[in-house]
A and B are shown apart, each in its own frame.
Chain A
Amino acid sequence: MARRLARMSAYTDEELMAVTMARLLADSQHVAVGALSPLPATAALLARARRPGLRVTILGSRHHNPFTDGGRELFDCAAQGRIDTFFLSGAQIDGQANINLVGTGDYAKPTKRFPGSFGSAYLYSLVKTVILFKPEHTPRVLVPRVEFVSAAGVSPPHEYRPGGPRHLVTGRALFDFAQGRFTLKSVHPGQTVEDIVRETGFDFDRGAVGATPPPSGDELALLRGVVRREVADTYPRFAAKAFGV
């Protein structure tokens, strides 16, 4: 993402998304971050920098991974309810919060093939609070209906499902998700509600839409100091370019 230099803002797009995600972690005791998730790692480490008791587990990290029983332990932990918050994304996300990480077109001969579902099909149901994140906010990725459901946003009442999606943070806005519908909560600096309607391919509800607060001086200082150093342990390339330093 380009930095917001055109508007002379004092922070990067990544920093704004990370602080917006970090503010959603206030009720969590244990936040876990999966593979290929530098933005969630940044958000979780920022939340912990402000609240040192928060337990943060980052897959692929040597210093923020407490597990000693192999790759399965994160998933076993999740099924037991020992993880409060997890982050997921999708190449496509639809208005029912279904996510697609597999592909478009015919499954057997896809027009576009994405990397795969990873742990989403499982964790989306079992972790109490799942925060969706997607820097790109266009009708191309926020679609009326995903072409492959890697993980379903909602389940029939009789299916065992202690968790699910609660929020969606994009490069333009913050949504909440409940009762099978997204509700626009706040728009990021420089965006209008009309922009969000135009750039979102699915229908959503609107209540009192606020403005996403920009990163505070304290948040930026933590992000560019201790958080950036900790993120570099797992995501050196991201750490080198995402922060306004």
Chain B
Amino acid sequence: MSTIVQTLTEFVADIVDDSRVAIPPDYSGVAMAATRALILRGARGLRLVAVPQAGFQADILIGAGCVASIETAGINLGEYGLAPRYTDAIQRGELRVIDATCPAVHAGLQAAEKGIPFMPLRGILGSDLLRVRPDWRVIDNPYGDHDPIVLIPAIRPDIALFHAACADRDGNVWVGVRRELMTMAHAAARSFVTVESVSDRNLLEDPALAAGTIPGLYIDRVCVAPGGMRPLPFGDDAGDAAALSTYARGAASPEGYAQWLAGWLA
């Protein structure tokens, strides 16, 4: 049952410690305002699943000590360089990284949304990822002749967390062409979404919007947070390049990160 909550504090209260949380890439609607609320709450032990790669949000959460592990195909700050808090946490042995490759994350979520235990996937053979991911199995294609193929187990996050343009009173959420958000919502046990606005009109009644709308049956929490993805870009908002650059420079050292975080939380 979807519930529209009034404050980000209420919104993140049910993202309990140790939750397995799926998050989108930097260009696809990152719930940054909710991320700030998670840090203010003092979240710990989060097990992030990056769909399929991570950026600023994960680096910020890792720096704040909120994250126990991250499954990701990769992490960086895009044009702003490496993810410094991530790199630092790994080298200090404080973060468990579960290395993936982009299509394997998508395939694992697709298995979960179908309610099946795994998804076969081409490629990957010969990669050392198979060595560090013993949960990825290689079988002989039962329909082929001596044709090894990789199996990816279903990824079923506790929570999908993202930002979208619009919800309605029934908890339907419009994501448009960003359909990885829809896959995340299908695969996760519960979905928590911050939105720019809530429409009084049912989004599913407009055929132009319905195809890009996640039905409310998948959505558990909605909170209105205008600009809730800033400083990241989203839709027509180009993002705040100066703020992103300031983060990348500051987070290069633990002290610089602490100073940046204090300013962000203030």
A residues in contact (CB < 8 Å) with B: 35-36, 38, 60, 67-72, 75, 79, 101-102, 107, 109-110, 113, 115-126, 148-152, 154-155, 158-161, 235-238
Known A-B contacts A35-B53, A149-B128, A159-B126; the reply to A118 vs B83 at CB < 8 A is: no
For the complex, what is the distance from the CA of A71 to the CA of B107, rounded to whole Å? 11
Q: Hey, what's the 0/1 contact readout for B83-121 against A, CB within 8 Å counting as 1?
A: 100110011010000011111101100100000000001
B101: nearest residue on chain A (CB-CB)? Answer: A121
Q: A60-B27, A126-B122, A159-B148 are in contact. Are A149 and B127 (CB under 8 A)?
A: yes
Per-position binary interface string of chain B over residues 160-183, scored 1 when its CB falls under 8 Å from any chain A CB and 0 otherwise: 000000000000000001111111
Minimum C-beta distance from A182 to chain B (A): 18
Of the 9-residue stretches B1-9, B35-43, B67-75, which lies at the interface with chain A? B67-75
Shortest Cβ gap from B191 to chain A (Å): 15
Cβ-neighbour of B124 out of A38, A121, A148 (below 8 A):
A121
CB distance from B177 to the nearest CB of A (A): 5
Instruction: Report which residue of B107, B110, B127, B146 has the largest number of chain A beta carbons within 10 angstroms of its beta carbon.
Output: B127
* 8 pairs from A and B in contact (CB 8 Å cutoff): A70-B106, A79-B122, A102-B99, A109-B91, A113-B86, A115-B83, A149-B128, A151-B127
The reply to whether B106 and A122 form a contact with Cβ atoms under 8 Å apart is no
- Residues of A within 8 Å of B100, CB to CB, are 116-117
Whether A235 contacts B123 in the complex (CB less than 8 A), given A71-B102, A72-B106, A158-B146, comes out as no
Tell me, rounded to whole Å, the shortest Cβ–Cβ distance linking B189 to chain A.
Answer: 20
> Are B101 and A237 in contact, with the CB atoms below 8 A?
no
B110 contacts across to A, CB distance below 8 A: 72
The 8 residue pairs across chains A and B that have the minimum distance between CB atoms: A152-B126, A116-B74, A70-B179, A122-B123, A75-B103, A72-B106, A70-B180, A121-B101
B91:A36 contact, CB within 8 angstroms:
no
Residue contact B126 to A155, C-beta cutoff 8 Å: yes
State whether A124 and B123 are in contact (beta carbons under 8 Å apart), knowing that A115-B75, A160-B147 are contacts in the complex: yes
Given A115-B82, A124-B123, 14 new contacts (CB under 8 A)? A35-B78, A69-B179, A70-B180, A110-B90, A116-B53, A117-B101, A118-B102, A121-B123, A125-B123, A125-B125, A148-B128, A151-B126, A152-B126, A158-B148
Question: Cβ of B93: which chain A residues have Cβ within 8 Å of it?
Answer: 109
Are the C-beta atoms of A120 and B79 separated by less than 8 Å?
no
Q: What's the least CB distance linking A233 to chain B, in Å?
A: 10
B149's contact among A116, A151, A152, A160, by CB below 8 Å, is which?
A160
Q: Is B149 within 8 A of A113, CB to CB?
A: no
Chain A hits for B123, CB < 8 A: 79, 121-126
Q: CB-nearest residue of chain A relative to B107?
A: A72
In the complex, which of the residues B93, B124, B183 has the most CB atoms of chain A within 10 Å of its own CB atom? B124
Contact A72 B180 (CB under 8 A): yes
Assembled-state Cα–Cα distance A186/B258 (Å): 49
B177 partner residues in chain A, CB cutoff 8 A: 67-68
List the B residue with the shortest CB-CB distance to A98: B126
For residue B25, CB closer than 8 A to chain A, the reply is yes
Given A35-B53, A117-B99, are A236 and B79 neighbors across the interface (CB < 8 Å)? yes
Taking a contact as CB atoms under 8 Å apart, the answer to whether A236 and B126 are in contact is no
**Contact among B107, B127, B147 with A152 in the assembled complex (CB-CB below 8 Å):** B127
Q: Does B193 contact A (CB under 8 A)?
A: no
Indicate if B139 sits at the interface (CB-CB under 8 A): no
CA distance A199 to B177 in the complex (A): 46
A85 to B256, CA, bound (A): 41
CA distance A107 to B128 in the complex (A): 10
| B157 adjacent to chain A (CB < 8 Å) | no
A151 partner residues in chain B, CB cutoff 8 A: 126-127
